Amino acid sequence: MPVSEEPVQDQAAEAPIAPAPARIYPIHGSLSSSYRARTVSGDHDHDLTETLSLDFGDPAKDAWTGHVMTRLNGDLDGGQNDGRSRFHDLNDIDGETLVPRLYDAWVEAHEIGPLESLRLGRQTMWDTPVFAWFDGASARTAPVGPRALQLGIYGGVPVHPYESSSSGDSIAGAYVQAQPWKGGRGRLDWMHLEDRGDLGSHSNDLWRASVWQAFGKQLRADGWFTGLEGEERDWFARVSWVNEKSDFTITASWFELLTTQRDLAPEIDPFFTTLFELFPYRQARLLASKDFTEWVNVQVGIDTREVDDSNDVGRFNRDSDREFATLTLSDLTAAHVDLSLTGEKWNGDGSDIQTWGFDVTRRFGHDFRASIGSYYALFKVDSFLVDERDHVRTGYLRFRWHRTTNTTWDLRYEVEDTDDETFHFLRVGMTWAF
Amino acid sequence: MGLLRADHSRRISIALLAAMAVTAAGCVLLSKLEPSQKRFAFSHDIHIKEEMECADCHPGAEDSDTPGMPALGQCMLCHEGIDAEKPAEKKISNLFAGGKLIAVHASKLDPEVVFSHARHVVAGETCESCHSGIATNERIEPEMRLSMDSCMQCHSSKSTPNDCATCHKEIRADAPPPSHGHNWTRAHGATVRNPTGLIGDKCSLCHTESSCATCHKETPPQNHNNFWRIRGHGIAAQMDRAGCAVCHTPDTCSSCHADTLPQSHSGMWGSPKDSHCVTCHFPLTDNGCIACHTDTPSHALATPMPPWHDLGMNCRQCHGVTQPLNHVDDGSTCVMCHR
């Protein structure tokens, strides 16, 4: 599937990423604590969230390493479990006050005989044909020969955090990868998924051939071809040119889904039960970023998606276009003020989403940053004869303070005004890296 | 958008795949090719066999930060006589351009890197410690360039400081390198998947797996506000569900939709006013009721799909054309009711 590298308007720069810790082995990581309050007329929600990330050992030196990432969400005013609260969300489904999530918990042995690594426990594999999140084992051989040939296998029980039972679910896969020529890498994947759910059982086999190629330092290309159940499923190609000297980046990609996807294991299409069939379509993307001076950057992006057969166009299979542009002015004054302006437009068969926003950030030394901004979104829905417009205006204030080398404080307040109601949002968080 | 939908699209796809295959084959071929006649090059091996010392040509190798490279005049002290009888392409002057040794770039360090030959000599290192095989080297190739990996391995094995500041003036684990510019959050995926081996590609120098998970599992995009959670996400998911799958795996949709009432389900929605009826029957739209109401009683009366039909068939190819359609075609998915 065409994975956009980042969500629509990413806020990675504002993410509670722990400051790079001094790697005081054998244990390091981060602990984030945050309080979140949300209110709207007649309704409110107060939550506490703890996120712990731990790494044990140094892969370059230690025979064993490990990693744990977990989150605990506490609902201070009781579970919003009646389905009618304005703040009912995924944490409220079970009606519990405390909701733990274990994302990763694994130990890894390094260089055991022919194996480069053997990982046991709850883990996520990002480079498989679809993301594999499972409880089990994975092993990878050390690169062999001048072509750096590697084999890998994995298997276990997939993690479906909202399912009541994992009975009948399993995942297994294998891959072989090599660097057969300079700057290039090839990989062949096979993946088997078993899933048993209320709406039926699935058993799917997926394979993918992938290739990556770097042409010098500036040009890269990659692509894949995927098969599912003996049929062609999709293919993807991308070319990226990055010139650091001229601060110019351009990426073009093409994705094509070749066969209709319906009722598959949730890893392959997690949305079927809600959005039904995904019909064949093709999608082209172009992303460009250019620094014109040391303080002016422009990013533009265009996506266009078209369903293969116009007879398949419907509510959940649309032709759509998306364009966005961001202008960033850095260090506008001696006071280290940055300004960014973003506009975005989605157009999909009568349904439109238009947004624009600005952000002004002032840095006070290396330790303190304050931002103020606003964005506006217009959702226009004109599906057949229904005509609806929703206006959403959001204003925010954010403060970020690196109090010490290892601690960061975040404060964020947002007011969100829609046509019908006004939401208030407050988040106070602290991240300790150790 | 009409540009994309056409019969020749498949041909374009095949052509692109073929182009990728040709490119890959070309890369293999090029990597196998070697020049039929190698260019005249400097040989350390010959000079060592003549019992010359490193410092004879690199005067600063033992007591300066930089080793110093030989100048043409310096070489000519010996080569004036040696080269007199050599053909033009074999003369030592071919190794110089503008009075500077051409091969100097093979070992040139980035100005941002701090390195002192003298400090390494004082610490007991020899030239061979870093320049492995230099004494028998017959031509200077780019592969001779020292890698950061080899520096770090040596430092690690000798318990010498290995943090960024040991060798770098500006690069720090807590300061993003030049490659992490404005576009980095959108473009970093390609680099992560296929690092070229450049220093800027080595994510693990500063990041651990937990760095990835912090963003990809815990940080929502800016537009995921309350309106988005309640309503906006559905509109976006209709246009590009694949974009949602970047983060939302594997069963978030069904879990929330299974017990969260849509925002429309309030007031007069149900009995006795039954205003929900008009959302489907007037003005005839598919509102996705079937997502939750899989066994709506009144709709169970619809004629079931004949057993010889399957879900992949296009109903409208026959019904409404050669076969009767007993109600208005509202554009909905037929199998919603005719199951």
* pLDDT tens profile A22-41: 455 578 888 889 999 999 88
pLDDT-based confidence at B265, cuts 50/70/90? Answer: low
What pLDDT, on the 0 to 100 scale, is given for residue A332? 77
Does residue A108 register a pLDDT over 80?
yes
Q: Sort A126 into a burial class: Cβ within 10 Å, 0-12 / 13-18 / 19+.
A: middle
In whole numbers, what is the pLDDT of chain B averaged over residues? 74
CB A61 within 8 A of CB A80: no
In angstroms, rounded to a whole number, what is the distance separating the alpha carbons of residues A62 and B67? 36
With CB atoms and an 8 Å threshold, state whether A275 touches B31. no
CB B115 within 8 A of CB B65: yes
Q: Is residue B70 in some structural domain?
A: yes
What pLDDT, on the 0 to 100 scale, is given for residue B270? 64
* Whether residue B54 sits in one domain with residue B124: yes
Compute the half-sphere exposure of residue A13: CA atoms within 13 Å on the CB side of its CA. 18
**A6, A389, B253, B297 from B280: Cα distances, Å:** 36, 20, 22, 15
* Whether residue B248 sits in one domain with residue B215: yes
Q: Which residues pair with A226 in a beta bridge?
A: A208, A234
* Whether residue B280 sits in one domain with residue B242: no
In terms of residue numbers, what domain contains B78? 44-146
Residue of A nearest to B213 (CA): A69
Does residue A19 register a pLDDT over 60?
no
* Whether residue B227 sits in one domain with residue B280: no
pTM greater than 0.90 (yes/no): no
Does residue A252 register a pLDDT over 50?
yes
Q: Which of A203-212, A281-290, B187-196 has the lowest mean pLDDT?
A: B187-196
With CB atoms and an 8 Å threshold, state whether B260 touches A88. yes
Parallel/antiparallel/unpaired status of strands A422-433 and A248-257: unpaired
Q: Is residue B164 in some structural domain?
A: no
In angstroms, rounded to a whole number, what is the distance separating the alpha carbons of residues A191 and A175? 9
* Whether residue B302 sits in one domain with residue B249: no
Does residue B134 register a pLDDT over 90?
no
Torsion of CA A146, A147, A153, A159, to 10 degrees: 120
User: Cα-flanking dihedrals φ and ψ of residue A195, to 5°?
Assistant: -145, 130
In angstroms, rounded to a whole number, what is the distance separating the alpha carbons of residues A255 and A281? 8
Q: Is residue B56 in some structural domain?
A: yes
Nearest CB among A84, A235, A275 relative to B13 is that of A235
Does residue A8 register a pLDDT over 70?
no
Q: Is residue B3 in some structural domain?
A: no
pLDDT tens digits, residue range A57-85? Answer: 877 778 899 999 899 999 888 655 566 67
Question: What DSSP state is assigned to residue B46?
Answer: H
Does residue B274 register a pLDDT over 70?
no
Q: Is residue B201 in some structural domain?
A: no
With CB atoms and an 8 Å threshold, state whether A315 touches B252. no
Residue of A nearest to B212 (CA): A17
Q: Which of residues 93-112 of A touch B (CB under 8 A)?
A: 93, 103-104
**Domain count along chain B:** 3
**A125, B37, B122 from B33: Cα distances, Å:** 37, 12, 43
What pLDDT, on the 0 to 100 scale, is given for residue A12? 36
With CB atoms and an 8 Å threshold, state whether A160 touches B253. no
* Whether residue B141 sits in one domain with residue B49: yes
Q: Which residues contact B225 (CB under 8 A, 6 or more apart)?
A: A392, A394, A414, A416, A423, A425, B232
pLDDT tens digits, residue range B208-258? Answer: 766 776 677 667 777 787 778 777 787 788 777 877 877 776 666 766 666
In angstroms, rounded to a whole number, what is the distance separating the alpha carbons of residues B133 and B144? 9
Question: What DSSP state is assigned to residue B89?
Answer: G
- Quote the minimal CA–CA distance from A206 to chain B in Å: 16
Q: Is residue B22 in some structural domain?
A: no
- Tokens 């993807």 belong to A236
- Note if the bond before B283 is cis, omega within 30 degrees: yes
DSSP A380-408: EE-STT--EEEEEEEEEEEEEEE-SSSEE
* Whether residue B112 sits in one domain with residue B51: yes
Nearest CB among B156, B190, B224 relative to A238 is that of B190
Residues of A in contact with B218 (CB under 8 A): 15-16, 51, 71
In angstroms, rounded to a whole number, what is the distance separating the alpha carbons of residues B70 and B54? 11
Element (H, E) at A226: strand A219-228
What pLDDT, on the 0 to 100 scale, is given for residue B157? 82
* Whether residue B281 sits in one domain with residue B225: no
pLDDT-based confidence at B284, cuts 50/70/90? Answer: very low
Taking the Cβ of residue B14 and every Cβ of chain A, the question of whether any pair is shorter than 8 Å is answered with no
* Whether residue B108 sits in one domain with residue B142: yes
Q: Is residue B175 in some structural domain?
A: no
What pLDDT, on the 0 to 100 scale, is given for residue A226? 95
**A275, B105, B210, B272, B291 from A269: Cα distances, Å:** 10, 51, 26, 38, 15
* Whether residue B283 sits in one domain with residue B243: no
Taking the Cβ of residue B20 and every Cβ of chain A, the question of whether any pair is shorter than 8 Å is answered with yes
In angstroms, rounded to a whole number, what is the distance separating the alpha carbons of residues A395 and A11? 15
Q: Is residue B268 in some structural domain?
A: no
* Whether residue B89 sits in one domain with residue B50: yes
CB B257 within 8 A of CB A274: yes
What pLDDT, on the 0 to 100 scale, is given for residue A276? 80
pLDDT tens digits, residue range A307-317? Answer: 999 888 887 88
ipTM, two decimals = 0.70
* Whether residue B318 sits in one domain with residue B243: no
In angstroms, rounded to a whole number, what is the distance separating the alpha carbons of residues B120 and A334? 42
Q: Which residues contact A387 (CB under 8 A, 6 or more apart)?
A: A381
